[in-house]
A and B are shown apart, each in its own frame.
Chain A
Amino acid sequence: GQQLNQSPQSMFIQEGEDVSMNCTSSSIFNTWLWYKQDPGEGPVLLIALYKAGELTSNGRLTAQFGITRKDSFLNISASIPSDVGIYFCAGQFRGAQKLVFGQGTRLTINP
């Protein structure tokens, strides 16, 4: 099946640092979504992207739909302790009715 490669798998940073993570695919995607999952909870939608080149912010989070339509990036600025969790990318490739999820990026923040 279709695969999303999400990197890095884990990040260990200091509070206040900026964070970057990305997802890539071999297929063209029509939609990119970014989710965050807190321990013991379900994923929560952070940002949805629908157009190539689209850049969307949600507070300190910014995500971009890559120009090639095969990748997406999520940046977190000035990280704080509540940013800890697992971040997932998800995408819908052309012609599909379902989402494909990346393996997740686990973010750990040292105070």
Chain B
Amino acid sequence: DADVTQTPRNRITKTGKRIMLECSQTKGHDRMYWYRQDPGLGLRLIYYSFDVKDINKGEISDGYSVSRQAQAKFSLSLESAIPNQTALYFCATSPGTMHSSYNEQFFGPGTRLTVL
């Protein structure tokens, strides 16, 4: 079974709709991240969470919100989707600083989102 799962894998929606992308992990990691991938731009950090009560903005958080429902669950919401939010979205996890490998991130399979 996959350690980091994302649902849905693909989603087509319309401008103005609210969308939620979900991420679950069985790795027992404290830290979770949401990234966006666009062609030629690599991975850009949207939000990250170092534990259940911790939420931090990344470099491109405008238009997005997140919820850390539990250690294993971290969801990303687009409150009112717009076409330039069409992209691949990845969730990732990493251990906490108690581990020497705390910044090794493990990625889910991604969600391809299309906003028409």
Residues of B within 8 A of A43 (CB): 43, 90, 107
Is the C-beta of A97 less than 8 angstroms from some C-beta in chain B?
Answer: yes
B42, A102: Cβ atoms under 8 Å? yes
Is the C-beta of B101 less than 8 angstroms from some C-beta in chain A?
Answer: yes
- Total interface residues in chain B, CB < 8 Å: 24
Residues of B within 8 A of A99 (CB): 45, 103, 105
Residues 46-59 of A, flagged 1 when their CB comes within 8 A of B and 0 if not, give 00101000000000
- B contacts with A: majority SS: loop
Residues 90-111 of A, flagged 1 when their CB comes within 8 A of B and 0 if not, give 1010000111011110000000
B106, A45: Cβ atoms under 8 Å? yes
B42, A42: Cβ atoms under 8 Å? no
Knowing A98-B48, A98-B58, the reply to whether A45 touches B43 (Cβ < 8 A) is no
A42, B107: Cβ atoms under 8 Å? yes
A92, B90: Cβ atoms under 8 Å? no
Among B41, B59, B100, B107, the residue within 8 A (CB) of A103 is B41
| A residues adjacent to B (C-beta < 8 A) | 1, 6, 9, 31, 33, 35, 40-45, 48, 50, 88, 90, 92, 97-99, 101-104
| B residues adjacent to A (C-beta < 8 A) | 4, 33, 40-45, 48, 50, 58-59, 90, 92, 100-101, 103-110
